[in-house]
């Protein structure tokens, strides 16, 4: 049976790992020595490119390739670590930072060297204030030890690192909104191109990577690209920390080789739904991912296989809904979140999320007609691809998939409403088949 394969989570439960002494005792900060003292920055970048490491924040773009897009030459260049982690269902970066902050700091220093960046920021969501305290303490220790500062390890390359706390906005996980927020503004997404690699933070070249992506760098430098590629599949190399939550008996973060069957994560590691219950639907990559059915649990958990199945691996967060969960209610919960978080800049997203919530409320409240489902589907089609960022798509894709795959449940709710046998919305919500414990 395939189980966990711990690389990023190696030593994760060692007491005091968040302290620099413990981290060093267990072999930490050797990769930074190697990269800064023995390697040419170009070779570090080549190693990262060769490893095939794909971004762990959602898009799955090649990390090395993205770093190579930054222009050469003497100028301020920036590396932003995206620690906003606000995708519902995702909590892996929280555990990585809380328990092993130095692994991330070492990764940032290596990433900055490879990309030629001299200024680095960790944009951490405001809700993670406990974690930000841990991270700030670790950054202080790293400065003292010479792993950050004007000349890292006396090697001439400068890396200044600032932990920047957000204040509660999902949209700031979108890379250009993150940049606006970091510049002290409202977190609105920007028009692309220009891409951040050319014109990002303070209009300078900027590399933006997720916490887990950067946490992978120390071991890639230490052990090489071939070692990294020995895990996972050809197109999805490495291990992945997967957050599993919802209707499972052991919710938590599990680090696995990409390519294991999703059922191993849901049933094997997370213990599956409570006794007597069955998986009805699951989000494979956070609440933005189109839902899949129980039959699709046999899919290999990789970027490419989930894409082929019409969904996505995204941030690597599985949310399981069992057969006690009403899909129309699940759709409404999902839509409300994106409606609340829409920044309002683009009309299809601002209005589309609003209308979707209203239509789903009608379905559940018993005021809908069968036509509403088609209108609902067409609203989703009109959001996708028509906005500056993918927040609207992030609602349209899962809600659209729920209407498509569980249409009979929506039709059932509508028919029941038309027969005059349902409760007002507030009561219907209260009666949602959700149980405690």
Partner 1 sequence: MIDEGFQDPARHLEEIEIPAPERDAAEIPELHEVDCPAELREEIEAAMGRYPDARSASIPALWAVQRRYGWCTPEGMRQASAVMGISPAHLESVASFYDLFRLEPGGRHELLVCTNISCWMQGADDLLEAFCEAAGADRERATHEGGTSADGEFFVSAFQCMGACDIAPMAAIDGRYVGPLDTEDAATAVEQIRAGSEALPEKSLSRRGAAGGPEPEPDPRVKEGI
15: left (phi over 0), alpha (psi -120 to 50) or beta: beta
Minimal distance, residue 40 CB to partner 1, in Å: 25
**Could you tell me where the DSSP H helices lie in 244-317?**
262-263, 303-308
Instruction: Considering the complex, state which of residue 160 and residue 372 has its C-beta at the smaller distance from partner 1.
Output: 160
393 binds partner 1 (CB under 8 A): no
Instruction: Considering the complex, state which of residue 99 and residue 350 has its C-beta at the smaller distance from partner 1.
Output: 99
Which segment (60-68, 81-89, 138-146, 400-408) binds partner 1 by CB under 8 A?
Answer: 81-89
Decide if 53 contacts 60 (C-beta within 8 A). no
Positions 174 through 233 that interact with partner 1 (CB under 8 A): 181-187, 202, 219, 223, 231
List the one residue out of 122, 144, 148, 118 whose CA is nearest residue 133: 122
Which residue among 66, 99, 240, 280 contacts partner 1 (CB under 8 A)?
99
Minimal distance, residue 89 CB to partner 1, in Å: 6
Which segment (92-100, 146-154, 294-302, 367-375) binds partner 1 by CB under 8 A?
Answer: 92-100
Decide if 237 contacts 63 (C-beta within 8 A). no
Which residue among 23, 29, 36, 91 contacts partner 1 (CB under 8 A)?
91
Q: Which residues contact 404 (CB under 8 A, 6 or more apart)?
A: 377
Apex CA 283: angle with CA 278 and CA 287, to 5°?
135
Backbone angles phi, psi at 261, to 5 degrees: -65, 140
The residue whose two tokens read 């609602």 is 395
Positions 61 through 80 that interact with partner 1 (CB under 8 A): 76
Minimal distance, residue 376 CB to partner 1, in Å: 19
Which residue among 58, 60, 107, 246 contacts partner 1 (CB under 8 A)?
246
Instruction: Considering the complex, state which of residue 32 and residue 45 has its C-beta at the smaller distance from partner 1.
Output: 32
Q: Which residues contact 258 (CB under 8 A, 6 or more apart)?
A: 231, 232, 233, 236, 237, 238, 239, 240, 301, 302, 303
Which residue among 54, 119, 240, 362 contacts partner 1 (CB under 8 A)?
119
Alpha-carbon Rg for the chain, nearest whole angstrom, is: 22
Which residue among 192, 250, 308, 407 contacts partner 1 (CB under 8 A)?
250
Minimal distance, residue 171 CB to partner 1, in Å: 9
Instruction: Considering the complex, state which of residue 45 and residue 216 has its C-beta at the smaller distance from partner 1.
Output: 216
37 binds partner 1 (CB under 8 A): no
Decide if 259 contacts 235 (C-beta within 8 A). no
Instruction: Considering the complex, state which of residue 45 and residue 103 has its C-beta at the smaller distance from partner 1.
Output: 103
Mask 403-432, x = binds partner 1 (CB under 8 A)?
--------------------------xx-x
Which residue among 146, 149, 224, 251 contacts partner 1 (CB under 8 A)?
251
Distance CA 400, CA 62 (A): 28
The residue whose two tokens read 């899949």 is 292
Instruction: Considering the complex, state which of residue 90 and residue 217 has its C-beta at the smaller distance from partner 1.
Output: 90
Positions 350 through 379 that interact with partner 1 (CB under 8 A): none
Mask 292-321, x = binds partner 1 (CB under 8 A)?
-------------------------x-x-x
Minimal distance, residue 49 CB to partner 1, in Å: 21
Find the Cα–Cα–Cα–Cα dihedral 208, 282, 311, 345, rounded to 10°.
-50
Minimal distance, residue 269 CB to partner 1, in Å: 7
Distance CA 437, CA 86 (A): 25
Minimal distance, residue 420 CB to partner 1, in Å: 26
Q: Tally the residues of the chain.
A: 437
102 binds partner 1 (CB under 8 A): no
Q: For residue 388, how many C-alpha atoms fall within 13 Å in the half-sphere facing its CB?
A: 21
Instruction: Considering the complex, state which of residue 5 and residue 141 has its C-beta at the smaller distance from partner 1.
Output: 5
Positions 328 through 347 that interact with partner 1 (CB under 8 A): 330, 333-334, 337, 340-341, 343
Distance CA 56, CA 216 (A): 10
Instruction: Considering the complex, state which of residue 315 and residue 380 has its C-beta at the smaller distance from partner 1.
Output: 315
What is the DSSP-derived secondary structure letter of residue 36? I
**What does the buried/exposed string (b/e) look like for 74-104 if buried means 16 or more CB atoms within 10 Å of the residue's CB?**
eeebbbbbbbbbbbbbbbbbbbbbbbbbbbb
Question: For residue 350, what are its two tokens?
Answer: 């601002």
| Integer angstrom CA distances of residue 299 from 3, 186, 276 | 16, 40, 23
Positions 148 through 177 that interact with partner 1 (CB under 8 A): 162, 164-170
Minimal distance, residue 346 CB to partner 1, in Å: 16
């Amino acid at each position: 049976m395939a189980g966990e394969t711990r690389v990023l989570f190696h030593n994760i439960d060692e007491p005091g790992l968040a302290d620099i002494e413990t981290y060093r005792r267990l072999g930490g900060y050797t990769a930074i020595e190697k990269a800064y003292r023995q390697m040419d920055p170009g070779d570090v970048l080549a190693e990262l490119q060769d490893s095939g490491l794909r971004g762990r924040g959602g898009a799955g773009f090649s990390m090395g390739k993205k770093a190579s897009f930054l222009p050469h030459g003497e100028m301020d260049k920036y590396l932003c670590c995206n620690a906003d982690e606000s995708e519902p269902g995702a909590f892996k970066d929280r555990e990585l930072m809380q328990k092993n902050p130095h692994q991330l700091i070492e990764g940032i220093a290596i990433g900055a060297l490879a990309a030629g960046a001299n200024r680095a920021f960790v944009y951490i969501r405001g809700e993670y204030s406990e974690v930000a305290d841990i991270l700030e303490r670790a950054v202080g220790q790293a400065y003292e030890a010479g792993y950050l500062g004007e000349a890292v390890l006396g090697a001439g390359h400068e890396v200044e690192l600032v932990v920047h706390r957000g204040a509660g906005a999902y949209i700031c996980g979108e890379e250009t909104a993150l940049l606006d927020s970091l510049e002290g503004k409202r977190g609105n997404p920007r028009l692309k191109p220009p891409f951040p690699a050319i014109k990002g933070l303070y209009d300078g070249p900027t590399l933006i990577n997720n916490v887990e992506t950067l946490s992978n760098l120390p071991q890639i430098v230490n052990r090489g690209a071939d070692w990294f590629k020995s895990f996972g599949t050809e197109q999805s190399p490495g291990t992945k920390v997967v957050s599993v939550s919802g209707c499972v008996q052991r919710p938590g973060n599990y680090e696995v080789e990409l390519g294991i069957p999703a059922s191993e994560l849901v049933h094997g590691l997370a213990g599956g739904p409570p006794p007597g219950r069955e998986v009805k639907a699951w989000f494979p990559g956070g609440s933005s991912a189109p839902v899949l059915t129980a039959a699709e649990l046999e899919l290999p958990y990789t970027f490419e296989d989930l894409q082929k199945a019409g969904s996505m691996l995204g941030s690597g967060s599985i949310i399981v809904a069992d057969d006690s969960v009403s899909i129309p209610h699940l759709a409404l919960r999902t839509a409300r979140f994106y409606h609340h978080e829409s920044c309002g800049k683009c009309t299809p997203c601002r209005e589309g999320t609003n209308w979707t919530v209203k239509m789903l409320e009608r379905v559940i409240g018993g005021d809908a007609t069968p036509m509403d489902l088609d209108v609902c589907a067409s609203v989703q089609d009109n959001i996708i691809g028509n906005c500056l960022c993918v927040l609207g798509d992030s609602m349209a894709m899962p809600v659209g998939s729920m209407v498509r795959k569980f249409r009979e449940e929506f039709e059932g709710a509508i028919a029941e409403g038309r027969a005059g046998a349902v409760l007002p919305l507030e009561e219907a919500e209260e009666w949602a088949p959700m149980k405690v414990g």
